[in-house]
Structure 1
């Protein structure tokens, strides 16, 4: 059976590695090509699959995803993209295993995520949620440039 590429959302196994970098670059270049052809950013595919699209954008920017083991315990520090209550919005958290220091670096790392997303047609706003943990709310920008 053929391998199907899936962007790392931060809620699965650790996928980092040399082969992964090439797969991510190919997938992201394909996404940018869709934007160029359609003249929209984000493209319709991204709007229909926002968790995957935002995760791909972050992974392509070289920002590490978090990861979990089979029991759901965090094994790596990084971003996690999750669905939000609104259908045209996703949230990005910065998570890691206990003792990883993720809460102390979340503002800096989420600001980096926001910068990368904003440059590619998304609007990302930083909020403080329950237990004073920060997160991003990400939605399509009002007027986004196609491509990069």
Structure 2
């Protein structure tokens, strides 16, 4: 069976960080940008229908590390996690890591970096403080005139 590329959402196993993975990410991201060029929309319809995957691909293409889980569900790597939101046409990005990793102390800086990468590519990303004072981004398609 052929390998199917999946962007790292931060809720899977640790993704390999080698030349082959970098090439896969670059090819997938270039394909996403080509879809935008052909359709003249940003984000494109595919991205709006697959927002978790599209946002995760954008962050991975920006070389921002994803978090990861082991087989038992324990967090094993510090990085972004993209998850569905309760709101339609919106996803959330968290900065998570294993206990004692310092993820909570670096989340504002790292999420601001994530927001910067997303905002430049047709997304609106707003930083919020949630339960237990943990920060997260809410990401949605930019409204016309935002991010232009």
TM-score scaled to structure 1, two decimals?
A: 0.96
**Contact 1:35–1:147 (CA<8 Å) still a contact in 2?**
no
Unaligned runs of 5+ in 1: none
Q: What do residues 21-73 of structure 1 show as CA deviations (whole Å, max 9, x unaligned)?
A: 11000000000000000000000000000000000000000100000001110
Q: List gaps (5 residues or longer) in structure 2.
A: none
CA RMSD of aligned residues (A): 1.8
Instruction: Quickly say closer, same or farther: Cα 1:103–1:147, change in 2 above 3 A.
Output: closer
Q: For the structure 1 residues 130 and 5, does the alpha-carbon distance in structure 2 shift closer, same or farther, using more than 3 Å as the test?
A: same
- Give the Cα separation in 1 of the matches to 2:4 and 2:90: 25
Q: How many residues align?
A: 147
Q: Following TM superposition, by how much is the alpha carbon of 1:147 offset from its aligned partner in structure 2, in angstroms?
A: 12
- Does 1 or 2 have the higher relative contact order (CA < 8 Å, sep 6+)? 1
1:83–1:91 Cα contact (<8 Å) kept: yes
Shift of 1:19: 1.5
CA deviations over 1:57-114 (Å, ceiling 9, x no partner): 0000010000000111011000000000012000000000011100000000000000
- TM-score with structure 2 length normalisation? 0.96
C-alpha displacement of 1:17 = 2.6
